């Protein structure tokens, strides 16, 4: 499976890594525990089985919209098959537009059943994951927000990337000069 993600500017990435560290130091599930060299704070826009040439071309074009400003809106919890603690983002018109372009790119050349329904426009909830676990309710009933620094007031997405979950290969697209 291939992900399509946005990477944050250095100050915001540092803030997210600080939140990861605080969760880990308190014994809670944290993305800091993922030791993959490709593990970095990111916003997932879509997933697909493979990056075909048409998808890669569309992603390279979408990267021209970067850097893209972003605004955090607070802490959010999801209970899907996994428990997730995250900082939520305001989708805003620019981020929602970029997301739609990426979704349309992967949907145009992927089997529809292979696409995550969580990433469909209208259903997608932009967030930066701080911690994730298979233990249901792991972040409920705790004063988790007190452990975390507040999310930055503003941020920028600076790179579009894809991560291959099988090979751990990373492919990046940055805006041109």
Q: For 144-166, how does the pLDDT look when each residue is reduced to its tens digit (9 = 90+)?
A: 777 888 899 889 999 999 999 99
Whether pLDDT at 9 is above 90: yes
Per-residue model confidence (pLDDT) at position 177: 63
Per-residue model confidence (pLDDT) at position 53: 96
Identify which of 36, 41, 38 has the alpha carbon closest to the alpha carbon of residue 14. Answer: 41
Per-residue model confidence (pLDDT) at position 158: 96
CA–CA separation, 150 vs 74, rounded Å?
Answer: 8
- What digits encode the pLDDT tens for the residues 51-96? 999 999 999 999 999 999 999 999 998 887 788 999 999 999 999 9
Structure tokens given for 114? 């292979």
Per-residue model confidence (pLDDT) at position 143: 73
Q: What residue segments make up the domains of the chain, in order of their start? A: 2-168
Per-residue model confidence (pLDDT) at position 175: 82
Q: What is the mean pLDDT of residues 162-177?
A: 88
Q: How many CB atoms sit inside 10 A of residue 122's CB? A: 7
Sign of CA dihedral 93, 95, 98, 99: negative
Q: Which CATH number fits domain 2-168: 3.90.1140.10, 3.40.50.720, 1.10.260.40, 3.30.450.20?
A: 3.90.1140.10
Q: How many CB atoms sit inside 10 A of residue 51's CB? A: 19
CA–CA separation, 89 vs 73, rounded Å?
Answer: 5
Structure tokens given for 151? 């999310």
pTM: 0.93
87 or 35, higher pLDDT: 87
């Amino acid at each position: 499976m291939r992900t399509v993600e946005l990477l944050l500017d250095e100050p915001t990435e540092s803030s997210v890594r600080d939140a990861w560290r605080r969760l880990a130091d308190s014994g809670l599930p944290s993305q800091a525990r993922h030791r993959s060299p490709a593990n970095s704070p990111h916003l997932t826009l879509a997933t697909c089985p493979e990056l075909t040439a048409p998808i890669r071309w569309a992603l390279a074009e979408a990267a021209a919209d970067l850097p893209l400003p972003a605004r955090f809106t607070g802490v959010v919890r999801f209970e899907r098959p996994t428990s997730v603690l995250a900082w939520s983002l305001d989708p805003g018109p620019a981020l929602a537009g970029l997301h739609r372009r990426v979704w349309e790119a992967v949907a145009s050349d992927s089997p529809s059943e292979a696409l995550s329904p969580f990433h469909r426009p209208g259903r997608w909830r932009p967030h930066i994951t701080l911690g994730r676990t298979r233990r249901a309710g792991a972040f409920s009933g705790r004063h988790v927000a007190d452990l975390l620094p507040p999310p930055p007031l503003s941020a920028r997405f600076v790179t579009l990337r894809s991560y291959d979950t099988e090979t751990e290969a990373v492919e990046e697209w940055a805006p041109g000069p």
